[in-house]
Structure formats: structure tokens, C-alpha cells
Amino acid sequence: MVPFLCNHPRPVRKQRGRRIRGSTALKIAPCVPASEGRCQGCGNRTRTSQGVALSLTQFSRPLLLFLSPPPPSPPFSYLEQARVAWERDRLHQLCLLLLIFSRFAHSTAHNSFKMDVVLEVCDTFLFDYMYQWVLPARPAPSGLTSQTFANGTSMSTWQYKPATEYLYLTPSQAAYGSLWARDNIWRQGVSLFLILWIFGFLVYFVFASLSYLFVFDKKTFEHPKFLKNQIWLEIKQANEAMPIMALCTAPLLVAEVRGYGFLYDTLDEAPWPWWNWFQIPLFLFFTDFGIYWIHRGLHHPWVYKHLHKPHHKWIMPTPFASHAFHPLDGYAQSLPYHIFPFIFPLQKVAYVALFVFINFWTIMIHDGEYIANNPIINGAACHSIHHLAFNYNYGQYFTLWDRIGGSYRAPEQEMFQKEVKMSEEHWKKEVEVMEQIQLEVEGEDDREYEPEMETKKRQ
């Protein structure tokens, strides 16, 4: 029997179904079908649908995990559900629209443990052989192949399913030769930790080296605030922080590849066709908003000296300073990137591409090359002001939130004139302002700068 939905909410206690107390005691329940399109229980005009009875008070998890099985194929139109939701009061509108999102996520992510694209590639070419050697599977009982018993004690439920329809990698025999199958949560955690650490280091070192060789102006070595052995110290600090940041971030990626996020594969799986394009600017604005407030919070006096000061050790940063953080500082500022796919749908290949772009952008705003004085983009010029003046330009990509938060400081036009920017007169002016602000923010300066004699030798 096809249920009916009324045009407006009704108190639960006046209709058939579970009783709920409180101001939100409303329930979407099938009305009793009657002639002429009216409900026998409340007398309201009704609309037909393929929906099922849902209680608005059952949203017990933050992201509204699925409350009922996904609709059969062909599914009930998302637009139709949104239209019905819009005709109800605001509480119903909000909850039902979020429920539509959760249904989409359930149908695309919870059907199986979908391996991440990068994880599958690494499993195929590296990790399958590594785990087979470190944790080999026990010999299978006679008459059964070793693929049948992947974990040595119980029959493996893992079956190969490509992480994306755009790439198919046939697993080797080694994929079935370890106690830890590919869908083992501990294996996924270890693998993702190694990927974050090694892949992150490679992206950092390759892009930072290219930027240093072809973009970074070596005359910066002569700046009075350039530290002694600064490049070595930046690389050292980045390499000490990366494994700890990877360890903190790995659990979030494990949750993503095990289906708890809203990651989807093909473009056809997007909730709406336009979403495949809209997700990119939404990701940038969402992460820029999150990083702005996290970054600004890290400049609070109670937090700054413990977590964020190591990154501000570099008054005149090089590209290698881009990842030279305290590990908890770097982890905190990366959280918006990984929280996004738990709130909004995100295509998996786009997620990998954005990860690379984020690292590239972080290096670029530390390279000291001021390309254009754009009032919207928070580029290298804006970020250099942040390192010199400390309490300005917290944003990552845009100047929007700095303007709203009253922390925006526009670069001076002379910063885009290379001869003026690298002149001693300009440096002297920068240092005077920097030392005054630095004394207010940090107190006594404990940095060790490049000796004057060595600076002259560089000339």
C-alpha cells in the first residue's frame, strides 16, 4: 500500500505511531489513505510517495546515519523529496534535506568497504608483498586454496572491488597471502600512515626543491632576519613533524576509506550533475574558513608559544618552511581538509588532486615571489606579511575572512617591485616594524641569525 504524506506536520500523539514528548514531538508517518486525497486521521490533503515512516528524533549521530534502507531502483527523486520537505515547517525542511544527503551517502559509501584510490595502487605494487612477507597467511587446509583463507583462521570476506571505475588493477597472489587482508582495519591504518608520511614527504621535498631552484630569490640570504643554517633547520623540523602529523591524521582517512564519509566515485554518482563542479570552490571556501579560525586561534597567547611559534621562527621563509610546523599545529590546520568529506559529498579522484594542490599552494605562499597584488587571493605577499607582522593575514587562499575578521593587511605596492623589495632600505623598514611587533607578541627574540661576516661572503 502506498502511504500518504500530509502537507504540514501533525503532533505524534494525535496519530497512529510512537508517542514522543517535547516541543519536537513531530513525526512523518504514513497517513491512513482515504478517498478524495484526504487523510482519515487529520483530514489534511495528502500527497503520495514511496517514503517510509521516519522519526525526526532518531538522528542520534552527527551526520545523520541512514535511518531506513535506500529506495529501490529507480529511486525516489531527490528533488521530489526536497520539494515535499520545503512544504513543511523549518524543522522538517532542515532534517529532511539532511536525510536526503545521508541517503545519498549511504547508497554510495556504505555498500562496501571501498578502498581509496591511492591505497589500492600502493597495495597492488607494494603493500601486498610487504604484508605477505611480514605477516604471511597460515597454510590453507587441504582441498582449499590459499585465497579462501586469507586471515589463516577464518574464511576471508574480502573480495577485490576496484576503488574507482576509472582504474582497474588486478591483484596478485600476494594480495591473498597475508594474515591481514586488504580490508583489515589495522592494515589500512598502517598503510595510510605510511602513505601520508612518505607521499607527503615526496610532495613536499619535490615541489619545495623545484620552487627553491627556479623561483626563490637567493638574495634573501642577505636579509638581516635570515637565520643561521635556516634551510637545514626548516627541512629538519618538517621531517620531524611529518610522521606525527601522519599518525594523527591516519584514523580520519581510515574512516573515509571504510565508508563513513561522503566520498563517491564516478561523476554520475554525484547528488546533482552540477555538484561535480561546485564541490571544488565549496571545498576551497570551507577549508579557508576553517583554517582562518584555527590559525587565528593558534595565535592566542596561551597557545602560540607552545604550538605555533616554531613555524614563526622563520621571519624570511623559504619554500622548505612550508611544512616546518610543530606537528600538532600542522595537524590542527589540516583538519578542515579531512572534515569536509564527512559533511559534503566529494569525488575521490578530486580529493587526491586537492591534496596535492593544497601542498603545492602551501609551498607557493612561502616562496617569496610576489606575482600580483590581487585583493581576493591570499598569495605569497600576504603571507610574507603574516610572517613579518604576526597577527595579520591568517587566511590560506582568500582574503575574505581576514577582511571580515578585521585582520587583513594589504601588501604595499613596493613589495611587487623586485628591486625595491630586495633593497637594504626596504629591509631596514621591514625590520623596524617586525621587531616592534615581535617584542609585543613573543617578548625577547631567541632566534640565531646569520652572522654578518658570512652574509658578506655570500655577496
Q: How far apart are the first and last CA of the chain?
A: 87
Element of type H or E holding 264: strand 263-264
Model confidence band, residue 99 (pLDDT cutoffs 50, 70, 90): low
Enter the C-alpha cell of residue 139. 597454510
pLDDT band at 285 (very low <50, low <70, confident <90, very high): very high
Per-range mean pLDDT, top range of 35-39, 62-66, 175-179: 175-179
Nearest alpha carbon to residue 209 among 422, 379, 357, 360: 360
Residue whose entry in the numeric block shows the C-alpha cell 605477505? 132
Number of Cβ within 10 Å of residue 330's Cβ equals: 24
Overall average pLDDT of the 187-197 stretch = 96
Q: How far apart are CA 183 and CA 181, in angstroms?
A: 5
Predicted confidence band of residue 86 (pLDDT cuts 50, 70, 90):
low
Q: Which set of grid coordinates corresponds to residue 238?
A: 618538517
Report yes or no: 287 and 337 within 8 Å, Cβ to Cβ.
yes
Answer yes or no: is pLDDT of 77 > 70.
no
The larger pLDDT score, comparing residue 17 to residue 316, is at 316
Residue 192 above 80 pLDDT? yes
Query: What are the cell numbers at 145?
Result: 586454496
Percent of the chain with pLDDT over 70: 69
Q: What is the pLDDT of residue 89?
A: 52
pTM over 0.75: no
Residue 430 grid coordinates: 621591514
Residue 39 confidence class, pLDDT cut points 50, 70, 90:
low
Distances from the Cα of 387 to the Cα of 115, 159, 278, 285, angstroms: 40, 51, 33, 23
- Of 155-159, 252-256, 293-297, give the lowest mean pLDDT range: 155-159
pLDDT above 60 for 443: yes
pLDDT of residue 97: 53
- Span of 105-119, 323-337, 430-444 with lowest mean pLDDT: 105-119
Residue 229: CB atoms within 10 Å = 10
The residue-averaged pLDDT of 68-84 equals 48
Q: What is the mean pLDDT of the chain?
A: 78
CA within 13 Å, CB half, 121? 9
332 pLDDT tier (thresholds 50, 70, 90): very high
383, amino acid identity = H
Rounded CA-CA distance 12/362 in Å is 53
Q: How confident is the model at residue 144 (pLDDT cuts 50, 70, 90)?
A: low
Give the highest mean pLDDT range of 114-128, 184-198, 257-271, 415-429: 184-198
Give tens-digit pLDDT for 381-439.
999 999 999 999 999 999 999 999 999 999 998 889 888 999 999 999 999 999 999 99
The answer to whether the CB of 14 falls within 8 A of the CB of 42 is yes
Alpha-carbon separation of residue 441 from 302, 310, 328, 427 (angstroms): 11, 14, 21, 20
**Amino acid code (one letter) for 15:** Q
In three-state secondary structure terms, 377 is: strand
Nearest one of 224, 200, 407, 441 to 323, comparing CA atoms: 200
Residue where the block lists cell 587482508: 181
At residue 337, the pLDDT reads: 95
Q: Which of 48-62, 103-117, 306-320, 360-374 is the least confident region? A: 48-62
Q: Is 227 helix (H, G, I), strand (E, B) or coil?
A: strand
- On the question of pLDDT at 64 being above 50, the answer is no
Residue 117 class from Cβ within 10 Å (0-12 exposed, 13-18 middle, 19+ buried)? buried
Residue 233 — very low, low, confident or very high, per pLDDT cuts 50/70/90?
very high
User: In which band, very low, low, confident or very high, does the pLDDT at 167 lie, cut at 50, 70 and 90?
Assistant: confident
Residue 45: pLDDT over 50: no
